[in-house]
């Protein structure tokens, strides 16, 4: 285990850019002028206002985070949201692992990220998030064009990802449905509790009841057909027979059962 301390100041973007310094913001060479590519990167940041930046460079181990933030123009400083943790340098693909740890800790599941880095050996071969830069040149126009393309694609997927996360959160509220079904004559009465919600449904057959629940964004596990006469998950064959027998004969019959729910895909 190595040092794992990282800096975060309330991430706010929809896509995260991990930024190296040497070999990216300037060429990696003795006496090379510093930060020659920074003005061009800042133009890209302004084109993508939903982008947040995290410092992944070894500079984070030498300089205070506040000093690194001040390298950027004042209007962009709020979007420099942190620096990655420092893991042991013998960690395999250490820079990628540091980026991944930062994402797990600070970002919602599924948020996309890109890393500008000249040392490709610090990432797994073929890492899809890596945007490699030639360290002998630093960030060039073609690199910036690739970055803009990558960011545009990632940001275009954000609404879909957010919708999926919101749907997942709603599904957690509906993880288990508890139901008391009473059959009397040709009517099926269901007293249903799921999450913090409670309601009463009246239907003439189980298929309609099943479709009503499906419309609420839920489905019972292991039930592929909307016709619930084929079986409520968690309900025994004897319970089903008693319930639908009561519907046929007009007897009143109650059945208690539980249904584990999964969100609709």
Walk me through the domains of the chain, giving residue ranges and CATH numbers: 7-165 (3.40.50.1000), 174-263 (no CATH)
Greater confidence (114 vs 189) lies with 114
- Sequence-ordered strand ranges (E) for 91-250: 112-117, 130-132, 176-184, 187-194, 197-203, 218-220
How many residues are present in the chain?
A: 265
CB neighbours (10 Å) of residue 264?
12
pLDDT digits (tens, 9 = 90+) for 29-46: 999 999 999 999 999 999
Q: Rounded CA gap, 6 and 16, in Å?
A: 15
Q: Rounded CA gap, 210 and 26, in Å?
A: 62
Q: Rounded CA gap, 70 and 219, in Å?
A: 52
pLDDT above 60 (res 210)? no
pTM of the entire structure?
Answer: 0.61
Run of H or E residues at 146: helix 141-156
pLDDT at 140: 96
Residue 85 contacts residue 94 (beta carbons within 8 Å): no
């Amino acid at each position: 285990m190595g040092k794992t301390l990282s800096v975060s100041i309330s991430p706010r973007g929809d896509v995260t850019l991990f930024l190296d310094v040497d070999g990216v913001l300037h060429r990696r060479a003795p006496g090379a002028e510093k930060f020659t590519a920074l003005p061009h990167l800042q133009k890209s940041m302004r084109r993508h206002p939903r982008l947040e930046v995290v410092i992944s460079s070894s500079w984070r181990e030498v300089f205070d985070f506040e000093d690194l933030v001040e390298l950027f123009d004042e209007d962009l400083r709020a979007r420099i949201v942190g620096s990655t943790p420092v893991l042991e340098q013998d960690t395999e693909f250490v820079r990628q692992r540091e980026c991944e740890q930062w994402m797990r800790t600070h970002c919602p599941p599924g948020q996309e990220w890109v890393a500008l880095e000249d040392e490709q050996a610090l990432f797994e071969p073929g890492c899809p998030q890596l945007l490699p830069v030639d360290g002998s040149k630093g960030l060039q126009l073609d690199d910036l064009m690739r970055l803009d393309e990558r960011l545009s694609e990632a940001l275009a997927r954000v609404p879909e990802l957010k919708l999926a996360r919101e749907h997942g959160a709603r599904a957690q509220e509906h993880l288990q449905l508890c139901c008391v079904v009473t059959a009397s004559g040709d009517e099926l009465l269901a007293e249903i509790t799921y999450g913090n919600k409670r309601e009463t449904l009246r239907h003439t057959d189980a298929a309609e009841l099943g479709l009503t629940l499906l419309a609420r964004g839920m489905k019972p596990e292991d039930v592929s057909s909307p016709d619930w006469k084929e079986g409520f998950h968690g309900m025994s064959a004897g319970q089903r027979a008693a319930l639908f027998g009561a519907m046929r004969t007009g007897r009143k019959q109650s059945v208690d059962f539980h249904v584990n729910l999964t969100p609709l895909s």
